[in-house]
Structure 1
Amino acid sequence: MARTAPVADADTIAVLGGDLLREVFLHLPTPADLLRAALACKPFIHAARSARFLRRFRRRHPSACPLLLGCFVHRPSEDRCREDPSPLLLPAPLPAAARRVVEGGDFALSFLPDRGSSGPDPWRVLDSRSGRPLLWDRASAEQPVADPWKVLDCRNGRLLLRNRVSGELAVADPLTRRWASLPAPPAERPVGYGLVTDDGCSSVFQAFCLSEDGGGSSGLRALVLSSSELRWADAAVLAGQYNLEDSRVMQANGSLYWKLKGGERMVALNTATMAFSLLELPDFARQFSFDVIEKGDDDAGGLYLLTMLGCCIEVWGGWDDGSGVLTWTLVDKSVRFQRAMAEMIGSPQFYRHGLVVIAVVAGVVFLRNKDRLLSIDLETMKLRMLVRKDECPSALMYPYTMAWPPSCLNPTEQGNVRLTTSYDDNKVLCRGNEEEGIQSSIRWLRRNQLCLNV
């Protein structure tokens, strides 16, 4: 009896199909394993280049994907820290290869253009006679701005910044030293900003601006700018008057959130439907800080808040009761950190200033106790001191991660590979043929596989 010839490997892979391959890839333990598998052959990399799959993979590996590199510290010009006013990155515990990647970045943001105090045009016309203008050099009379860029948001390895003089915005990547110049939003009174980066394609982003027009009497207006067009457009309007003073933008499940003054409600902007909503908050939000977090699959529903109450980490879930009102329930609670924090900080200072939740990123909670910065790993519950007293008073803290997905896995579009290139001259994306994309992916993996293997 003649033996049946074995099915060729390529045929076996073709029989599996992209959907089944993605289900297998979803169970790989680390992002480095996914990269190695994806680059094994063309069907594998085609399967991995799916925006929906890459988002699912990130949700399944929250502590390793994206890789947490540290905490970006931006010190305001009016309250300088030590002698160096430049921003810096407080590194997280990293392997040697990842530390080298961080050291190669420019977290002082020196690659950004310094517009100076006079903006892009230093000359002002005072008068004109017989076709001859009388000009005044504003730069000669004004003091230079020591810190021209203000950080507005930080997401997925990208910073959203605003020039203090010209009002223009920029999206910058300190690791690659690339940046995109964005026009100033046509807003009467900007009160909030947000940066949305697609964790299914790292070269795509959206910038949002909230504005109070007409002195707030016209309501809250949302403007959006996409990396594909680089121009502002109206997104949504919310009638009424709202106080976003000192509100820090939060982000989860494709929506942006701003806590309103008083802590009774927060404004939500769905970036997919471009619709505003007002959400009632649980009682603790009136007194304590929190961050909105992602939990479970995309279709799991519910809104989750992480806070620090009684020296315990608590996670609260909110579900619609059918009438449009959220019902809040405590879904998770950690051990008490009271003794450990009192020993690390000192009892008087700890109890006097309390704890402020800054953000939850890559499975790590970042907390602030006045001038001190602490972190708690949600997997190991390990407490660390990142910044001690008086090292960086009044600094703005932003957890910083490596962009996900890496450029070699950015999804394809109409058979062409989307590759991240220099942001100079607003060229955010370029396209190459498939073979060039795969070769670029292989080179990328050889350079970065060690730092991703954590």
Structure 2
Amino acid sequence: MGGNAAAHRLESAILERSCQPPTHPRRHGPQATASLPIPDELLAQIFLRLPTPTDLLRASAACVSFRRVVADRSFLRQYRKLHAPPLLGFLSTNTGFHPAEPPHPSASVAGAVALAADFTFSFVPSPAPTTCWFIQDIRDGRVLLGPRGYFCGAMAVCDPLHRRYLLLPPIPHHLAATVEEPFLREAFLISGDEDEAAADTEETSFRVMCMVQCEAKLIAFVFSSSTRQWRAIASHSCSALSAEKILFYWRQYAYGCFYWLSHAQSTMFEYRMKILVLDTRRMEFSIADPPSEFECASGLDIIMVEAGEGRPGMLVRGHDTSDRVYTIWRNNGGGSSHWQKEKIISPSPGSDVQ
């Protein structure tokens, strides 16, 4: 019996050990190894560094969270500020659209735009049975149309690619009646409103300005697509310039400001160039001086450029030597008339630069 009892105890011990769960190295489950989700703020910073809109589109197609970040309006505004839209071509007032050609990187997209868009503006109703539209200005993919020979009469803003248009109402009579003895008139497009209240519609909003240079002052009216109304902005007195019959031509744009260069209509006075500046953020006009050594230059010799860090610059063509020499001037931030010479460019012999 003693042997049987011992055998029974041994068998029980073996069964107890065999019933215990086997000991294996601990494995970490999926929840333990899953990484934390990337915050939307960090995703936005990553996506802002993608070089092209095509890359951004591919990223947005990867998952719902990526698409949510990319589709946010505030993100798209930041992306557009950091990445200039691709050059698709040039739209001439006389010869139509000229798309970018190979080897330009935008050639394929430009070709598709040329096929899809309507640059004859046939989708825009005619201003009158016997009147045709003519291009007045082009900006941000929109075209300002108006009848030839008419100032601020019937006007339309259209999108040739998506074939959308807006017919502008006429300028109210009480505003138009303030124009007296006009010398020069022009209408042009301005980008959408800059204030925070209009931020959500910034992508689709625009403004149209009608500017008149009169005997002693500048008068301007602005139409906003947000309000669908015209309003007058503060006129700027030009009495100091009126005796010399100085007019402003050659409208140019840099960093939210338009620039016009003066041209003297009279030879009775010693001519000194002036620059008319329109700040589109504050909708204010001002008069600036060019660098002193170019104050007698022709407006055709000066091109306003974006010189970096939000400061405007000038590319000026000189005439002091037989060779064409170009000087780049940069505004040093001390005021609209404070310019600092950055560099001098001499075209290489045999180049086509003139």
User: Same fold judged by TM-score > 0.5?
Assistant: yes
Q: Counterpart of 1:74? A: 93
Residues 100 and 110 of structure 2 are in contact (CA less than 8 Å); yes or no, is this contact kept in structure 1?
Answer: no
Q: Counterpart of 2:21? A: none
Q: Counterpart of 2:256? A: 254
Give the aligned residue type for 2:207. Answer: Q
Residues 319 and 326 of structure 1 are in contact (CA less than 8 Å); yes or no, is this contact kept in structure 2?
Answer: no
Task: Evaluate the alpha carbon distance shift between residue 49 and residue 319 of structure 1 in structure 2; reply closer, same or farther with a 3 A threshold.
Answer: farther
TM-score, structure 2 as length reference: 0.68
Q: Give 1:152 deviation, angstroms.
A: 2.3
Residues 154 and 168 of structure 2 are in contact (CA less than 8 Å); yes or no, is this contact kept in structure 1?
Answer: yes
Q: Counterpart of 1:130? A: none
Tell me which of 47, 51, 67 is aligned to 1:29. Answer: 51
TM-score, structure 1 as length reference: 0.55
How many residues were matched structurally?
A: 289
Superposition map of 1:66-215 within 5 A: 66-75=85-94, 87-93=95-101, 94-115=106-127, 119=128, 144-145=130-131, 148-164=132-148, 167-185=153-171, 186-187=175-176, 188=179, 189=182, 191-198=185-192, 201-212=202-213, 215=214
Q: Give 1:105 deviation, angstroms.
A: 1.5
Superposition map of 1:273-422 within 5 A: 273-282=282-291, 283-284=293-294, 286-287=297-298, 288-296=300-308, 300-309=309-318, 311=324, 314-321=327-334, 324=335, 326-332=337-343, 334=345, 336=347, 339-341=350-352
Larger RCO of the pair (alpha carbons < 8 Å, separation 6+): 1
Q: Counterpart of 1:12? A: 37
The two structures, once aligned, show a CA RMSD in angstroms of 3.3
- SS class of match (1:249): strand
Q: Give 1:314 deviation, angstroms.
A: 4.5
Residues 193 and 249 of structure 1 are in contact (CA less than 8 Å); yes or no, is this contact kept in structure 2?
Answer: no
- SS class of match (1:27): coil
Percentage identity across aligned positions? 29
Q: Counterpart of 1:131? A: none
**5+ residue gaps, structure 2:** 1-25, 265-271
- SS class of match (1:29): coil
Q: Say which one has the larger Rg.
A: 2
- SS class of match (1:336): coil
Residues 220 and 235 of structure 2 are in contact (CA less than 8 Å); yes or no, is this contact kept in structure 1?
Answer: yes
Q: Distance in 1 between matches of 2:68 and 2:306?
A: 27
Q: Distance in 1 between matches of 2:346 and 2:79?
A: 29
Give the aligned residue type for 2:279. Answer: N
Residues 123 and 163 of structure 2 are in contact (CA less than 8 Å); yes or no, is this contact kept in structure 1?
Answer: yes
Task: Evaluate the alpha carbon distance shift between residue 268 and residue 40 of structure 1 in structure 2; reply closer, same or farther with a 3 A threshold.
Answer: farther
Q: Distance in 1 between matches of 2:74 and 2:275?
A: 28
Task: Evaluate the alpha carbon distance shift between residue 256 and residue 6 of structure 1 in structure 2; reply closer, same or farther with a 3 A threshold.
Answer: farther
Q: Give 1:42 deviation, angstroms.
A: 4.7
Q: Counterpart of 1:401? A: none
**5+ residue gaps, structure 1:** 76-86, 121-143, 343-354, 356-454
Q: Give 1:183 deviation, angstroms.
A: 2.1
- SS class of match (1:281): coil
Residues 235 and 274 of structure 1 are in contact (CA less than 8 Å); yes or no, is this contact kept in structure 2?
Answer: yes
Give the aligned residue type for 1:339. Answer: G
| Deviation digits for residues 64-93 of structure 1 (CA, Å, limit 9, x no counterpart) | x31212121113xxxxxxxxxxx4112222
More displaced stretch, 36-45 vs 255-264: 36-45
Task: Evaluate the alpha carbon distance shift between residue 41 and residue 294 of structure 1 in structure 2; reply closer, same or farther with a 3 A threshold.
Answer: farther
Task: Evaluate the alpha carbon distance shift between residue 45 and residue 204 of structure 1 in structure 2; reply closer, same or farther with a 3 A threshold.
Answer: farther
Superposition map of 1:220-259 within 5 A: 220-241=218-239, 245=247, 247-259=249-261
Task: Evaluate the alpha carbon distance shift between residue 202 and residue 335 of structure 1 in structure 2; reply closer, same or farther with a 3 A threshold.
Answer: farther
Q: Give 1:155 deviation, angstroms.
A: 0.9
Give the aligned residue type for 1:319. Answer: N
Q: Distance in 2 between matches of 1:195 and 1:112?
A: 18
Task: Evaluate the alpha carbon distance shift between residue 70 and residue 245 of structure 1 in structure 2; reply closer, same or farther with a 3 A threshold.
Answer: farther
